[in-house]
Amino acid sequence: MQRVIVTIDGRSYTIVAEEDEDYVRRSAELVDKSIAETRASGRLSSVDSAILAALNIADKYFKAQQSTDNMRAQIRSYADECASLRAEIIKLRKNQKQEG
């Protein structure tokens, strides 16, 4: 475990994490940027900005998760099709040997 000091929305936080420092800093930068974006859209309190930023990050997370699930399903479909085609090739080669 390591301690990393980050700044989010103008405040310093000490984060205790197993991940490396760069990862923690990138995560904090994402949160800080998201809060800044929500704050720029209107007059919001720090709490309201943080909540909207969290919702935006959650939205991106769930969309990325859905995209990943879709990609996995597509890859699975391709793998099944590939296995079917391999079986067909093996069958055709056997038939060729028997005829030849």
**Contacts (Cβ under 8 Å, ≥6 apart) of 31:** 8, 53, 57
Q: What is the pLDDT of residues 14-63, one digit of tens each?
A: 999 999 999 999 999 999 999 999 999 888 999 999 999 999 999 999 99
Contact 16/2 with Cβ under 8 angstroms?
yes
Is the pLDDT at 98 greater than 90, yes or no? no
Res 41: pLDDT: 83
Q: What is the pLDDT of residues 5-21, one digit of tens each?
A: 999 999 999 999 999 99
Res 52: pLDDT: 96
Q: What is the pLDDT of residues 73-92, one digit of tens each?
A: 999 999 999 999 999 999 99
Q: Could you state, in order of their start, the residue ranges of all structural domains in the chain?
A: 2-71
Number of H helices, E strands in the chain: 2, 2
CA-to-CA distance for 95 and 38, rounded, in angstroms? 66
Task: Determine what percent of the chain is predicted with pLDDT higher than 70.
Answer: 99
Q: What is the distance between the terminal CA atoms of the chain, rounded to a whole angstrom? A: 68
Looking up tokens 């709490």 gives: 47
Give the other-Cβ count within 10 Å of 17's Cβ: 13
